[in-house]
Structures are given as structure tokens and as C-alpha cells.
Structure 1
Amino acid sequence: MHHRTVEELMTRDVVRARRDTPFKELVRLLEENDVTAVPVVDDLDRPMGVVSEADLLRKCADQADPTGRTPLPHLEAWERAKAEGSRAEELMSAPAVCARPDWSAVEAARLMESQRVKRLPVVDEADRLLGIVSRGDLLRIFLRRDEAIREEIAGDLLRRTLGLDPRDVSVEVRDGRVTLTGTVENRSMIPVVEQLCRGVDGVVAVSGNLAHRTDDTPDSPTGT
């Protein structure tokens, strides 16, 4: 199976900020390039952190409300320091959470989820910036055509990888949802087939309507 890598999904032409980039220039970078965040790099082009709209908005939220309708928000010390910052290195979220170009979309998505970030700078072996991958970039794998998914499952996965006869198992894909119908030799093979199908790029869900000829599971009367 071919899994699209971060390198295939990432944006290569990355808008960068330097550690001394001033606040107003950061706002201008976001506005002019229609992005919501930029990585902050050092002199060797290595990501130090990321400045997002949320980071910059603290400056606005920390101002007194001229209408007097809302009180100043309570800020932790680190949040107060950001709100009072004027350069990228003072405003950014750091350290930068980065990905490698050979990672799969699953690896990148899990890191985003665990670190609660919306994008990952992508770096090489020397930690130099290569690109940036966002949630939207990772979701592009689900735009894959149903026919391409079906061909990969029926050909690469079932026939070549698992050695199943295509006459025994049929594959239908609609809007990324895979339906498997047919018969496999052993009952223990069914969850293996379904799990492998779930790992194919673009698959949203798998429904198994598979029967088996032999029950080889440990809890079966004839299992070992």
C-alpha cells in the first residue's frame, strides 16, 4: 500500500518570521499571505516556534474595553508576557512542534491531536524548515476517488498482500466507506482484512459482511 507522506501533503512555499519581526509586521504577514500562523525561524532557518492569530489576539484582548462592558481577562504570567510582547520571539508559542517529511498522515495527525496544534512545521535532518502541514492538508487524503481506493484494496491489499482470490471477496467503495462482501478461509482473517482496509488512504469507514469457511479462533469448539 502507498500512504501519502507529509512531504506530499505539505505546503513548501512557507511564509516565515524572524525572531525580531515586530508585532505589526507579523499581522501584515498573516493578512497579505492569507494564513493564520507563521513559523518563527532562527538564523539557520530552524523553527523556534509558531506565531498564530491566537497569539497576536492576546494583545487586543489585553486592552481596556472602551465601552466598559467586559472586564479585563485574567491572564497567567506567561500569557501576560505574551500580551505585552512586541516581537515574534516574545509572542510565539514555543518550542515548535515539528514533523518529518517521511511521516504518514496518521503520524502527523496524532501529533497534532496530542499537542493540540493546528499545523506542524516540517524539518529535515538538520532541523531546517522544509514546509508546513496543516489539518486541512491532512484531510486532503479523504478527497481521494472511490475507484482509486477500491483498486488499491482489491488489487494491492487483498490479492497481492493477502493472497485472496478476487472472486471470493468483493469490494465496494462509496464516499470513502468500504463494504467487503464474500468468504475468507479462516475466521481469524476477518479482523485482519478489515483493519488493513481502514489503513488505506481515503477510507472513512469499513463495513464487513465477510463469512468464513473455518473457525480457527481460540474460543471456538475446534480452535486451538
Structure 2
Amino acid sequence: MRDSSSDKISYCVSINDEDVFEAMKSINGYLDITPEDFKEVYLAAYKHAIGRVTKSVAVKEVMTVGVVFATVDMPLTEVADRLSENAISGLPVVDDRGRPVGVISEKDFLSRMGVEHALTFMSVVALCLRGRGCDAMQIKELTAKDIMATPAVCLSENAPIHEAVSLFVSKKINRIPALSSEGKLSGIITRGDIFRSPLFQINV
């Protein structure tokens, strides 16, 4: 059972004097305080506040716990079942000590089935019908370690979430396993976990 981060956190980012000061410094020219000017200051201050908070909020406060994962020797049929049953597009793969060693996503399945550039489910069906790919039977006997992306890109659960954002961009990935102090899988953080959180909701 997954524990959604949206059920766990209730941050409301407050703007302090430093945020307003930094926002005002970032705006060129003289400020005549009209509603539009105030809105501009508010947005700039809010962005500064988010930058400040993302450096102080730890991954463990946003991540999903109770992670759905696979073991290295798990048959791909079981891995596929786990992805399907939990309506997720990827999961971490752990060794016998509970340490993440790789990640498997839908893309890894598709690439092994010869459908590397499929964008939708129906594009996969179309390729199968044409006999141009989707050779699932060839990978039926494989295990998680045979198709997982490795090494797994991981973060400490105590790392600030801005490090996760940086990795999402630089590594072009969508999920990062989080590690306990013992180096074991303790959670997973996704792009959605961060951007669905109240930390990134700006209302004017």
C-alpha cells in the first residue's frame, strides 16, 4: 500500500521580510505600489520563498513511503503485475539487503519488446498488429535485473528536495529512490510528489 505524500504534508509557505526584500531587489525600476505592482512583488517573493523552503524541507517530508518495489530475481511477469496492479509507471529494484540497485519503468519493457518510441498504448497495439514489435514472449523468462536501468540514482531521505529537482532535470528521470541512513530503500520521490505538494501552489 502506498502512502501518498499529499495525505502527509500540509505546508503553507509563508512569505517573510527577507523574501519581500529579495523580491523588491529583483524588480528593476521604481515601485509605485499599485495592485499590479504588489502582485509582481508578491509573485517574486513567493518564488524566493519556495527557493528558501525547498532548501530546508527534506525528501522524507515529501516522498511516498510503503514503496512498491521489485527484487533483482523477480520474474518480469510479476514486475509487470505490480506495475499494473498499483497503477504506476516505474519502481525501484532492490538487492537482498534492501538496497536499491536499479529502476524499472514502462520504457524499459517497451525497449526490450522493440517498441522504443511508442507514445501511447494504441501505438503499441498498432505495432503489434503490424508485426513490427511488441515481442513480449521473448522477455517472458527474464527477471528484473535483465532489463532494469542501473545504477539507481538515489538520494538520502534527509537531502533537501531541491537536490531531487536538480536530479530530475539533469538526469532526465521521473523517480528517485530515497535511502535511510543504513542505505536501504525508505521511500521514493517523484516529480509529481513535489509539484503536487502545497509547496509549489502559487495562488494570487
2:103 touches 2:150 (CA, 8 Å); kept in 1? yes
**Alpha-carbon shift at residue 43 of structure 1 (Å):** 0.6
- More deviation in 132-141 or 39-48? 132-141
Structure 2 Cα separation of the partners of residues 84 and 30 of structure 1: 15
Q: State the number of aligned residues.
A: 138
Structure 1 Cα separation of the partners of residues 64 and 171 of structure 2: 20
Structure 2 Cα separation of the partners of residues 51 and 145 of structure 1: 28
Taking a change above 3 Å as real, the CA distance of residues 51 and 85 of structure 1, as seen in their structure-2 partners, is farther
Following superposition, which runs of at least 4 residues in structure 1 exceed 6 angstroms of deviation?
A: 82-85
Q: Which residue of 2 aligns with 1:128?
A: 184
> Which letter does structure 2 place at the counterpart of 1:94?
T
Q: Does residue 173 of structure 2 align to residue 138 of structure 1?
A: no
The counterpart of 2:130, out of the listed 67, 87, 90, is: 67
Q: Which residue of 1 aligns with 2:151?
A: 95
1:6 touches 1:102 (CA, 8 Å); kept in 2? yes
Structure 1 Cα separation of the partners of residues 165 and 139 of structure 2: 29
Q: Which residue of 2 aligns with 1:118?
A: 174
Taking a change above 3 Å as real, the CA distance of residues 121 and 85 of structure 1, as seen in their structure-2 partners, is farther
Structure 1 Cα separation of the partners of residues 203 and 162 of structure 2: 20
Q: Which residue of 2 aligns with 1:24?
A: 77
Select the structure that is richer in strand: 1
> How far does the alpha carbon of each residue in 1:4-29 deviate from its partner, in whole angstroms, 9 at most, with x for none?
21100000110110111111111100
Taking a change above 3 Å as real, the CA distance of residues 42 and 140 of structure 1, as seen in their structure-2 partners, is same
Name the SS of the counterpart of 2:173 in structure 1.
coil
Structure 1 Cα separation of the partners of residues 170 and 164 of structure 2: 10
Q: CA RMSD in A?
A: 2.9
The counterpart of 1:109, out of the listed 165, 179, 185, is: 165
Unaligned runs of 5+ in 1: 74-81, 147-173, 177-224
Asked which structure has the greater RCO (Cα within 8 Å, sep 6+), the reply is: 2
> How far does the alpha carbon of each residue in 1:185-214 deviate from its partner, in whole angstroms, 9 at most, with x for none?
xxxxxxxxxxxxxxxxxxxxxxxxxxxxxx
Taking a change above 3 Å as real, the CA distance of residues 83 and 25 of structure 1, as seen in their structure-2 partners, is closer
Taking a change above 3 Å as real, the CA distance of residues 145 and 99 of structure 1, as seen in their structure-2 partners, is closer
Unaligned runs of 5+ in 2: 1-51, 116-123
Structure 1 Cα separation of the partners of residues 140 and 111 of structure 2: 9
Q: Which residue of 1 aligns with 2:203?
A: 175
Select the structure that is richer in helix: 2
TM-score normalized by structure 2?
A: 0.59
